[in-house]
Amino acid sequence: MIEVSFDGASVGNPGLAGGGVYINSGGSEIRESIPLGVLSSNHEAEFAALVQALQYCLEKGYRSVSFRTDSQLVNQALEKRYVKKAEYAHYLERALTLIDRFDLFFCKWIPDEKNRNADALARFAIRKQQNADKSECGPL
């Protein structure tokens, strides 16, 4: 079983957002920083990161995965297969569609301090976007 930690982060509401995916597969590590553009909130970034992590795992051919998240909102939405806020509903629908393609899927809530790898990757994705925005401005 592949262990996948994911996290979303944003600077501002709305603001630039990033996703981080950290995979530990039999001692080898995979780290992905995913720029997510401008999103409405950190919660939206968490849902977007979930979808990105699921897509990544399917593209790599992983069939049995155990996801870890520090977002109680995302974890509860997956458990209940329901989310209150309409702005997250399409992310949940997409995630559930992707989850159905796995042979085995688990998701577990973990505290922030146990999700540092994915958090650092999400924050790196934001920095990449900020640096790209600065370089597009050019000299005055």
Range of the domain at 34: 2-59+69-133
What is the number of domains present in the chain? 1
pLDDT, position 138? 47
Asked if residue 137 has pLDDT above 60, the reply is no
Mean pLDDT value across the chain: 94
140 falls within a domain: no
138 falls within a domain: no
64 falls within a domain: no
CA torsion angle 119 120 126 132 (round to 10): -160
Q: What is the CATH number of the domain that holds 99?
A: 3.30.420.10
139 falls within a domain: no
pLDDT, position 136? 57
- Taking only the tens place, the pLDDT of each residue in 13-67 is 899 999 999 998 778 899 999 999 999 999 999 999 999 999 999 999 999 999 9
